[in-house]
């Protein structure tokens, strides 16, 4: 899929940038990166919101943006230019094949992202990985929604999961996840292209991992509830700390029990029990 990059200039940058980012997250923008004069935001081309953005106006700050179309990119090539291994405390090291294996991390994951997203550097991947160590995944049935490069699916397998299914809407993500699983001796992980429509209406999974974005999580949470076994765990990330209460309210209304939430920088993870 292709992405649109919006480069926002905000005056004054604070609190204008924070207000805009919160609004854009609701409009379907998936990732943000701050700059000296504002921030950059990314959205899938098919979900572009340019007309809505042009209509926005605020009393306390002004903003402008430059819109850039981004074709499918060889993320592996870009990644290797400035890539450093990612350490989730001493629990796991996410690295490229050209890096030496960590002598301190308990788990080792080799990732070659090719043309799909998910190098492990995002705070949400760190949060999901760290929280997974609180779960007992031994002999469990695990689902990784929005699997990207397969990092969480591979980690679930390393933590003892009996069967792991990864789902993503992007062709490259599925192809890349299969390759990364093979590199990490986890070729028995099953990856399928699709979305929550693939999920069964009957209880199947002991644990569901969903690191996507708030709008998708809200839309699909009922499907996660149906597909999760009683006493199963749902881990959610891909949203800001300011979104925790909204997602918590929706989850508890569906029947989930809220167990914990953690934050790293602006991002958050929620742990729920069915």
- Residue 177 is part of a domain; what is its CATH number? 3.40.50.150
Check whether residue 56 and residue 143 sit in a common domain: no
Instruction: Provide the β-strand partners of residue 109.
Output: 94
Q: Say yes or no: 143 and 250 in one domain.
A: yes
Q: Is 102 a domain residue?
A: no
Where would I find the H helices in the chain?
Answer: 13-26, 50-54, 75-82, 123-132, 151-158, 171-183, 214-227, 244-254
Residue 240 and residue 168 share a domain: yes
Do the strands 205-211 and 228-240 form a parallel or antiparallel pair, or are they unpaired?
parallel
Quick one: 269 and 144 in the same domain?
Answer: yes
Alpha helices (H) in 83-166, listed in sequence order: 123-132, 151-158
* Alpha-carbon gap, residue 165 to 145, rounded angstroms: 8
Q: Are residues 14 and 150 in the same domain?
A: no
- Give the residue carrying structure tokens 């990784």: 144
Q: Is residue 25 part of a domain?
A: yes
Same domain for 62 and 149, yes or no, is no
Asked if 192 contacts 166 with a C-beta cutoff of 8 angstroms, the reply is yes
Among candidate residues 198, 257, 251, 259, the one with its CA nearest the CA of residue 222: 251
Q: Is residue 84 part of a domain?
A: no
Domain presence at residue 106: no
Where among 70, 89, 110 does a domain terminate? Answer: 70
Would you say residue 155 lies in a domain?
A: yes
Distance between CA 261 and CA 150 in Å, rounded?
23
Kindly state whether residues 33 and 136 are assigned to the same domain. Answer: no
Range of the domain at 12: 3-70
Residues 37 and 129 in one domain: no
Are 66 and 37 spatial neighbours (Cβ–Cβ below 8 Å)?
Answer: no
- Check whether residue 133 and residue 240 sit in a common domain: yes
CB-neighbour burial class of residue 79 (10 A; exposed 0-12, middle 13-18, buried 19+)? middle
d(CA 83, CA 74): 14
Verify that 62 and 131 share a domain, yes or no.
no
**pLDDT tens, residue order, the chain (274 aa):** 678 899 999 999 888 888 888 888 878 887 787 888 999 988 888 888 888 888 888 888 999 999 998 776 655 555 555 567 889 999 999 988 878 899 999 999 998 866 445 566 778 999 999 999 999 999 999 999 999 889 999 999 999 999 999 999 888 889 889 999 999 999 999 999 999 999 988 899 999 999 998 889 999 999 999 999 999 999 999 999 999 999 999 999 999 999 999 999 889 999 999 9
My answer on whether 52 and 142 are in the same domain is no
Q: Do 127 and 238 form a contact (C-beta atoms < 8 A)?
A: no
Q: Do 168 and 261 fall within a single domain? A: yes
Return the pLDDT at 19. 87
What's the N-to-C CA distance of the chain in angstroms?
A: 34
CA atoms within 13 A on the CB side of 19: 15
Q: Which residues pair with 45 in a beta bridge?
A: none
Distance between CA 203 and CA 14 in Å, rounded? 46
Per the structure, how many domains does the chain have?
2
Burial (CB count <10 Å: 0-12, 13-18, 19+), residue 257: exposed
User: Which is nearest to 159 in space by CA: 202, 107, 123?
Assistant: 107
């Amino acid at each position: 899929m292709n992405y649109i990059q919006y480069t926002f200039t905000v005056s004054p940058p604070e609190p204008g940038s924070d207000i805009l980012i919160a609004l854009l997250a609701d409009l379907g923008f998936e990732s943000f990166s701050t700059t000296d004069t504002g921030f950059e935001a990314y959205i899938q081309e098919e979900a572009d919101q340019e007309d809505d953005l042009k209509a926005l106006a605020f009393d306390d700050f002004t903003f402008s943006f430059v819109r850039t179309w981004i074709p499918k990119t060889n993320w592996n090539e870009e990644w290797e230019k400035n890539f450093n291994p990612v350490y989730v405390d001493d629990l796991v090291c996410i690295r490229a094949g050209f890096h030496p294996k960590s002598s301190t991390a308990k788990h080792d994951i080799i990732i070659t992202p090719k043309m799909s997203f998910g190098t492990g550097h995002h705070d949400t991947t760190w949060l999901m990985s760290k929280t997974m160590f609180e779960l007992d995944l031994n002999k469990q049935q695990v689902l990784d929604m929005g699997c990207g490069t397969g990092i969480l699916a591979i980690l679930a397998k390393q933590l003892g999961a009996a069967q792991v299914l990864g789902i993503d809407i992007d062709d490259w993500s599925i192809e890349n996840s299969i390759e990364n699983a093979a590199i990490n001796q986890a070729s028995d992980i099953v990856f399928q292209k699709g979305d929550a429509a693939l999920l069964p209406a009957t209880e199947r999974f002991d644990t569901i991992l969903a690191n996507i974005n708030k709008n998708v999580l809200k839309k699909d949470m009922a499907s996660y509830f149906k597909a999760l076994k009683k006493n199963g765990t749902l881990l959610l990330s891909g949203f800001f700390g300011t979104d925790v209460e909204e997602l918590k309210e929706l989850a508890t209304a569906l029947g989930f029990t809220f167990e914990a939430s953690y934050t790293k920088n602006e991002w958050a993870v929620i742990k729920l029990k069915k």
